[in-house]
Amino acid sequence: MDLHLKGKRVLVTGASKGIGRACAEAFAAEGCAVMIAARDPDRLHAAAAEIAGRTRAEVKARPTDLSQRGSAETLAAWAGELDILVNNAGAIPGGDLLRVDEDTWRRAWDLKVFGYINLCRAVYADMKRRKLGVIVNILGSAGEKLDAAYIAGSTANAGLMAFTRALGGASHADGIRVVGVNPGPVSTDRLISLYRQRAEVKLGTPERYKELFEGMSFGRPAKPEEIAASVAFLASQGSSYTTGCILTIDGGLSARSS
């Protein structure tokens, strides 16, 4: 499906792997000029080369740690005029209130919560000046189906859901759309690592981790490409009346009463 995104300038953060990388590849396949950022330089540059090789699109990479003050502004200046921003950088560890200490809360939130907010602030003014632009925030269904065992992540995602709705509810006046995506379980390196740990505890060996997927919708986690396809559509003119809302892609998990 041609989403008519050819030539659009796109920045994707957290794009060296997982959902971010899948989003970068989806936009590259649509003919966009794609810029990607992440903390690991080697993995990031490898991802850029592989995406460019497969899609023949222009893909540029800039190693960036968005948890550091000033990094969002520096990244936005490097990227220049953007048509689309995809905020995806961030990994918040699990744990309940008594297991997650203050330093962990602050490190995790500096990257994901303030990273998203600061990068939105850094690109919004230019988008407003040009009266165009789309911001897609990749959040997480734990912000909707709250989990005390993932308290730092649930609270962060719920806050970013509110941020996305508040900003997107007013951004139409500036010619900008702001939307969010709440993925549920997605088959990324991080999820597989988590389930291997759980399988070792519950089943005696990490190699049986796929057995723990059986309770998921359709018996599996989502594929990163399934999330990326929705992100690309939301950023396209086919979704031009969509702003201030959250699309949850979790196989119906958040809709269950128990």
> How many helices (H) and strands (E) would you count in the chain?
8, 7
The three-state secondary structure class of 144 is: coil
Residue 107's nearest CA partner among 55, 39, 43, 178 is 39
| DSSP-assigned letter for residue 138 | E
Query: End-to-end distance of the chain based on CA atoms, in angstroms?
Result: 37
Q: Determine whether 150 is an active site residue.
A: yes
CA distances to 47, 62, 150, 228, 251 from 42, in Å: 9, 11, 30, 23, 33
Helix, strand, coil abundance in the chain, percent, nearest 5 = 55, 15, 30
Q: How crowded is residue 52: how many other Cβ atoms within 10 Å of its Cβ?
A: 17
- Longest CA–CA span in the chain (Å) reads 58
CA-to-CA separations, 203 to 42, 110, 131, 197, 208, in angstroms, rounded:
35, 36, 55, 10, 7
Contact of 152 with 109, CB cutoff 8 Å: yes
Of 107, 196, 185, 100, give the one whose Cα is nearest residue 148: 100
Q: How far apart are CA 151 and CA 5, in angstroms?
A: 37
Catalytic residue numbers, as ranges: 150
